[in-house]
Amino acid sequence: MLKRTMQPVIEKISKGFPVILLTGMRQVGKSTLFEMLKEPNRKYVSLDNFDDRKLAQTNPALFIQKYEPPLIIDEVQYAPQLLTYIKIYVDSHKKDGDFWLTGSQKYELMKGIQESLAGRIAILDMLGLSYKEIIKKPFESKPFLPSMDMMKSNPKPLKLMDIYKIIWEGSYPRLIVHDNESRDNFYKSYLQSYIERDVRNDLDIRGNELKFNDFIRAIAIRTSTLLNYRDISKEIGIDQRTAKVWISVLQRAGIIKLLEPYYRNPTNSIIKTPKIYFLDTGLCSYLAKMNSPEILEAGYMDGRILETYAFCEILKSYWHNGKEPNIYFYRDKEKREIDFIIEEGGVIYPVEIKKTANPSLSDCKNFSSLNRLKFKTGTGIVICLRDNPLPLADNVLALPIWDI
């Protein structure tokens, strides 16, 4: 069982809040992490169990009596009725760490949380295993913020196909921990259970299951591109309203994330359309029918899947440390683009992803576009396939992708 970066974060927060909600897509290890950390007297109940779900939905007060805290409630989104009764309990007992909740439908829960548990709950987001967690260095992970101090790092280099194998396999713990697990069978089962269990509960797609499956595949092959509802709906044969609803379904399930463009003073020269990113590169590669790391590396998605992987690793570095990144992308009408902009303390840090082992200043030429924004610009980073960090300019550094 691999240790997770988030372990000390949960232990600390549990001493300051009566309720913790850990959210993320199914199978990323939420309940496993809670099980690893729980005390002997902390009970566990899953609302995937229909009997417990029915009790929580129809008689939440009795549910709390039956499963008295300290308690882990898995997949709490199935019984939002519980949130009011959890509030009543924590307000009367005033004890930190009583409820640890998991949910794979964060946005479904937010209304109830805002109404019932504001000020009483800490909300944490979780993704699959980060590279540092995979190589058993989970507590070396820090929120990614470009700095010339990264020059001092000395990561163990990976070969090109090693990194694409990691990307192709994905970050679900079950695939990484169990060597005998079939990747294709895992993702096939994952999609079937996701569509049948979550999507059916989220909206009525009866008669449209095949189209929804085609829709997910269409989104997968568009990872790290600008979101275009018209093109997607035309390809699948649905209207744009349906495409927007289905995008929101994928967002709520933590399958994708929309990255907003960076603009403080909106002008006609700045693109305002978000970009789509899959939050697991293995699932994305499976949906795009990339049948091996070699096909993935040599195919049309090679650069975009590398960018998607970098995005996920940056997100993990923040989310798994209990923080939320201010991360965006930049693109203007002249098609000058910077893959990521990280904002911290009034400073913006440009980040570019390049599939090259020999980066040069031309790879970060668009960093100068930020001068027009008249904001303080920090260290720029070109994330690439070099073995070691390399300064490209006074305030620009090339960094191996496995050192995020």
The vertex-359 CA angle with 353 and 360, nearest 5°, equals: 115
Distances (CA, A) of 393 to 146, 157, 218, 396: 14, 23, 39, 5
| Confidence band of 231 (pLDDT split at 50, 70, 90) | very high
The label of the residue with tokens 């970066």 reads 5
Strands 390-393 and 396-400: antiparallel
**What value does the mean pLDDT take over residues 95-109?**
87
Per-residue confidence (pLDDT) for residue 267, from 0 to 100: 57
**What value does the mean pLDDT take over residues 317-336?**
93
Per-residue confidence (pLDDT) for residue 114, from 0 to 100: 78
Three-class HEC string of 379-400: CEEEEECCCCCEEEECCEEEEE
**What value does the mean pLDDT take over residues 276-285?**
97
Element (DSSP H or E) covering residue 22: strand 19-23
Strands 390-393 and 43-46: unpaired
| pLDDT beyond 60 at 39 | yes
Nearest to 271 by CA among 183, 361, 346, 331: 331
**What value does the mean pLDDT take over residues 238-245?**
93
| pLDDT beyond 80 at 247 | yes
Per-residue confidence (pLDDT) for residue 375, from 0 to 100: 79
Per-residue confidence (pLDDT) for residue 332, from 0 to 100: 82
Query: Cβ of 9: how many Cβ atoms within 10 Å?
Result: 18
Per-residue confidence (pLDDT) for residue 360, from 0 to 100: 95
Distance of alpha carbon 394 from alpha carbon 350, whole angstroms: 14
Distance of alpha carbon 308 from alpha carbon 281, whole angstroms: 7
Query: Cβ of 277: how many Cβ atoms within 10 Å?
Result: 25
Both tokens assigned to 396: 């620009």
Per-residue confidence (pLDDT) for residue 363, from 0 to 100: 95
Give residues with Cβ within 8 angstroms of 374, minimum separation 6: none
**What value does the mean pLDDT take over residues 348-362?**
96
| pLDDT: which is higher, 113 or 226 | 226
Which range (22-26, 163-167, 176-180, 357-361) has the least confidence? 176-180
CATH ID of 7-125, from 3.30.70.260, 3.90.1150.10, 3.40.50.300, 3.30.110.40: 3.40.50.300
Query: Cβ of 178: how many Cβ atoms within 10 Å?
Result: 10
Per-residue confidence (pLDDT) for residue 178, from 0 to 100: 85
Distance of alpha carbon 7 from alpha carbon 12, whole angstroms: 9
Both tokens assigned to 349: 């840090």
| pLDDT beyond 80 at 395 | yes
Per-residue confidence (pLDDT) for residue 205, from 0 to 100: 63
| pLDDT beyond 80 at 268 | no
Which range (58-62, 105-109, 254-258, 376-380) has the least confidence? 105-109
**What value does the mean pLDDT take over residues 296-307?**
97
Three-class HEC string of 213-224: HHHHHHHHCCCC
Give residues with Cβ within 8 angstroms of 66, minimum separation 6: 55
Half-sphere exposure of 141 (CA within 13 A, CB side): 30
The residue extents of the domains of the chain are: 7-125, 131-403
